[in-house]
Amino acid sequence: MKNKTKISIVGLGYVGLPLCLLADEKGYEVLGVDLDKNKVDLINKKISPFMDEEISKKLKKSFIKATTDFSEIGNSKIIIVCVPTPVYEDHLPNLEPVENACKNIALYLKPGQLVIVESTVNPGVCESIVLPILEEISLLTGGKDFYLAHCPERINPGDKDWSVENIPRVIGSLENIGLKMATDFYRSIISGNIKQMNSLKEAEAVKVVENSFRDINIAFVNELAMSFGRLGIDVVNVIEGASTKPFSFMAHFPGCGVGGHCIPVDPYYLIDYAKKNGFSHDFLKLARQINNNMPKYLVDQTKIILEKNNIPVKKSNILLLGLAYKPEVGDIRESPSLEIIKHFEGEEVNLKIFDPYVLDKSTAGNLEEAFIKIDAVVIATAHNLFKKLSPQYFLDRGVKIIIDGRNCLCKEEFLKAGIDYNGIGR
Ligand code: SAJ
């Protein structure tokens, strides 16, 4: 049998593991490397370390191997870095996972190998942080002895239409050999278009720009929601109306905040890098402020509604439905729900929490238990389980006040049933 090309993928999370499985499917010999021994052991037992049907299914029939030992990457042709790039509490970029991964890779880096960074980083990181680490420890020269490319990840967790296999990608590299090697690799596993950029920086900029684009558009509709909420205009209906324009309008929807490991994080990478180069992204910063304020806006709205119903806020019994940052996932990174909980705790309410995807952090084991003795329900994640609840379900459990932080219930239906339904901007 033709020898399989060996590749190593460092970081076996939402980005690295799907990539391992895809490369394995396409005939590569794949070694996954991760610091987390539990995760490595689960993967070697063909058990997905996180709730994802697709990954669990593919893992069972895959041949990938996982290890915590970086020394095994020595005989890989390509080494791909898929570790997280979060921000610190003060929103400054945290490149430690990338730096540590590169230090470990550099110990075993060999001439001829290609290192590809998929982690989202601001322009300049590959050239000014990754490359020096790889060169100084390996004593090899990038672009000559080994090659370096950047292909920003574009995973969309829970998306049934767009997968790691068909999402188009962009690639930038230090020089042409690395660019060709990386392009050949991705073209061998991905059906989507692969666009070559003119530099590492351009490729790095693409990702932070596409996610900042999303963040500012969400901030735009969140600001509209706060304004229209005072004007008695239903902002969701207006956005749906604007969406009938077949060109140059792209619908985004208001909510109780922007979570996840991409959208609320990536703009800070660009803001910080530009600031270091003497430019202040005032618009991006304002959009971040607006979105970061939505959890407090939701709690403030809840207080107003409770008082309107003569229910004292302090000691009121509130049920928060949803901890995950988006529907049908169990990921709570940067989730607005975490901020909502902090604000409710500050108001000394009796808060119950239920998320079917995050039971370990829920205070109720199931929906029935969650609904016992509740004055108002606040929805923070549009899970299908919540979206399909009927007005009668609430009425049968004595709940007549809803604050729908994701506008995921049918307003008209609930109002008609005599429920005090309140959305975000509607
Ligand atoms: N959100 C809104 N209003 C919107 C859209 C999203 O409030 O109109 C909120 C969500 O509730 C969530 C957060 O923003 O809390 C992020 O939602 P998201 O749908 O952007 O989900 P992510 O974080 O998984 O974003 C990914 C990103 N993919 C990559 O970075 C590779 C992003 O680029 C995609 O645009 C996004 O999926 C997508 O389109 O689903």
Integer CA distances (angstroms), 295 to 129, 171, 338, 351, in order: 35, 36, 9, 15
Centre of ligand 1 to C-alpha 222, Å, is 14
Catalytic residue list contains 262: yes
Centre of ligand 1 to C-alpha 385, Å, is 20
How far is it, in rounded angstroms, from Cα 372 to Cα 361? 18
Q: Which atom of ligand 1 is nearest to the CA of 334?
A: 15
- Of the candidates 107, 95, 122, 88, the one whose C-alpha atom is nearest the C-alpha of residue 33 is 107
**Marked catalytic residue, from 82, 151, 262, 408:** 262
How far is it, in rounded angstroms, from Cα 209 to Cα 324? 25
pLDDT score at 201 = 98
pTM of the model: 0.93
* Residues in a beta bridge with 21: none
How far is it, in rounded angstroms, from Cα 36 to Cα 27? 26
Centre of ligand 1 to C-alpha 365, Å, is 28
Centre of ligand 1 to C-alpha 156, Å, is 8
Nearest CA owner, ligand 1 atom 32: 211
Centre of ligand 1 to C-alpha 271, Å, is 19
* Candidate of 262, 331, 332, 357 to mutate for ligand 1, largest count of ligand atoms within 8 Å of Cβ: 262
Q: Which atom of ligand 1 is nearest to the CA of 257?
A: 7
* Candidate of 220, 263, 290 to mutate for ligand 1, largest count of ligand atoms within 8 Å of Cβ: 263
Nearest CA owner, ligand 1 atom 14: 258
Q: What contacts 230, CB < 8 A, 6 or more positions away?
A: none
pLDDT score at 3 = 82
Centre of ligand 1 to C-alpha 22, Å, is 23
- Of the candidates 280, 275, 221, 278, the one whose C-alpha atom is nearest the C-alpha of residue 423 is 221
pLDDT score at 361 = 96
pLDDT score at 157 = 73
pLDDT score at 196 = 98
Q: Which atom of ligand 1 is nearest to the CA of 154?
A: 31
Q: Which atom of ligand 1 is nearest to the CA of 329?
A: 24
Q: Which atom of ligand 1 is nearest to the CA of 266?
A: 30
- Of the candidates 332, 344, 334, the one whose C-alpha atom is nearest the C-alpha of residue 267 is 334
Centre of ligand 1 to C-alpha 94, Å, is 21
Integer CA distances (angstroms), 175 to 80, 170, 178, 219, 383, in order: 17, 15, 6, 38, 45
pLDDT score at 2 = 64
Nearest CA owner, ligand 1 atom 36: 156
Label the pairing between strands 376-379 and 317-321: parallel
* Candidate of 170, 210, 326 to mutate for ligand 1, largest count of ligand atoms within 8 Å of Cβ: 326
**Which residues have C-beta atoms less than 6 Å from ligand 1?**
153-157, 210-211, 214, 218, 252-253, 255, 258-260, 262-263, 325-326
Task: Per residue of the chain (426 residues), give pLDDT as tens.
Answer: 568 999 999 999 999 999 999 999 999 999 999 999 999 999 999 999 987 888 999 999 999 999 999 999 989 999 999 999 999 999 999 999 999 999 999 999 999 999 999 999 999 999 999 999 999 999 999 999 999 999 999 988 778 899 999 999 999 999 999 999 999 999 999 999 999 999 999 999 999 999 999 999 999 999 999 999 999 999 999 999 999 999 999 999 999 999 998 999 999 999 999 999 999 999 999 999 999 999 999 999 999 999 999 999 999 999 999 999 999 989 999 999 999 999 999 999 999 999 999 999 999 999 999 999 999 999 999 999 999 999 999 999 999 999 999 999 999 999 999 999 999 999
Centre of ligand 1 to C-alpha 263, Å, is 6
CB-CB neighbours of 400 under 10 Å = 18
Nearest CA owner, ligand 1 atom 33: 211
